[in-house]
Amino acid sequence: MAPGGGSAAARVSDPSGGPVGAGIGRLTGQAARCSGRLQGGWALLPLVGADGLLRAARAAGYAVGAFSVHTPEMVDAVFAAAEARGAPVLLQVGQRAIRHAGLQETASWVIARAARSPVPAALHLDHSRSWDQVVRALRAGCTSVMFDGSDLPFADNVAATAAVVRLAHAAGVPAEGEVGRVGGVEDDPSEDALAARLASVEQAVRFVQDTGVDSLAPAVGNVHGLSDRIPRLDLGRLRVIGEAVAVPLVLHGGSGLDEAQIRAAVAAGVAKVNVDTELRHAFLSALRVAVNGPDHADDPYPALAEARRAVAELAQRRIDTFGSAGRA
């Protein structure tokens, strides 16, 4: 159940009561500057819109890594990995980070680090189920947003996503939607483990047409989180969806997927691969080893540096698999 509950319409309608997008007048600050940047105007934000990155990726047959970040060290690690590989990159702020670190705070880490990075980077709001949160994300400087209506009936998912797409577009920001339902536990542990429901090709086509999303995350057997069994993607279904819709596809649940399946998914039209759980594991494993070492009694930085290094190494390996190295 989405936080706050209520109907889909109640959750996504513009609280001003006016037409969707009218509330955009309230989107001052970051989002307005973001809009100028995304439309090729003045560049005050160091971030780029995700749509350009994803369209270029799809056209050239690679995928951009979309890495969820939870601490400043993880932000730095993802940028370091992208810079080492010369890759465009997306950094994602998800529901766990929003609850613990804060949306504005996480966005600020990313924007500050992006300001001294030569690689094109976008900041993505992941798995939002709330209109207000999307508005906050646009204000905070996100250059990509995802509305997740996958727990809603199809028609409600379409209506809710379409409203968020109009809101995001009014701020010059692209939007992602999910059709079907990706299984497993997302980065929000308060959510129940989700039962997967695969997207049909017909639904995928209608969803893109009726919502105007810029990218589509279809459920094709992918699963959030890590488990003992590697998920089996329905690559045939993914390929047909990829041929049927013009927008880039997004593969959620990148953690633990083998390289062969990832490469096949990219060949089928996936232009963005989301990775979260395995980065958190890498961070914590390295941190655990480091803090138990002899030299860290009163200085947190060496241990955090080890955790950062582990995340950067893993992100680099993933970037290589996605084929985005050298595409910055």
Which spans of this chain sit near ligand 13P (rule: CB under 6 A)?
68, 126-127, 224-225, 252-255, 274-278
Whole-Å CA distances, 188 to 15, 93, 138, 151, 225: 25, 12, 21, 14, 11
- Smallest distance, ligand 13P to C-beta of residue 146, A: 8
Closer CB to ligand 13P, residue 20 or residue 238?
Answer: 238
> What torsion do the CA atoms of 40, 45, 47, 53 make, to the nearest 10 degrees?
-10
CA distance 34 to 171: 7
Closer CB to ligand 13P, residue 87 or residue 275?
Answer: 275
CA distance 302 to 290: 8
CA distance 265 to 219: 12
CA distance 176 to 214: 6
- Smallest distance, ligand 13P to C-beta of residue 42, A: 32
Closer CB to ligand 13P, residue 211 or residue 277?
Answer: 277
124 and 146 in contact (C-beta within 8 Å)?
yes
Closer CB to ligand 13P, residue 20 or residue 152?
Answer: 152
Q: Is 126 part of the annotated catalytic residue set?
A: yes
Residue 38 corresponds to which tokens in the numbers above? 């995304």
In this structure, what are the phi and psi dihedrals at residue 118, rounded to the nearest 5 degrees? -85, -10
Q: In 215-299, where does DSSP find H-type helix?
A: 235-244, 259-267, 277-291
Residue 140, judged by CB atoms within 10 A of its CB (0-12, 13-18, 19+), counts as buried
Gap between the terminal Cα atoms of the chain: 39
- Smallest distance, ligand 13P to C-beta of residue 118, A: 26
- Cβ neighbours around 179 below 10 Å, total: 28
Distance of CA 132 to the CA centre of its chain: 18
- Smallest distance, ligand 13P to C-beta of residue 275, A: 5
DSSP string covering 34-64: HHHHHTTS---SS---HHHHHHHHHHHT--E
Closer CB to ligand 13P, residue 228 or residue 298?
Answer: 228
Out of 126, 148, 188, 214, which one is annotated catalytic? 126
Residues in the chain: 328
- Smallest distance, ligand 13P to C-beta of residue 314, A: 11
Closer CB to ligand 13P, residue 180 or residue 253?
Answer: 253
- Smallest distance, ligand 13P to C-beta of residue 92, A: 7
Q: Which residues carry out catalysis?
A: 126
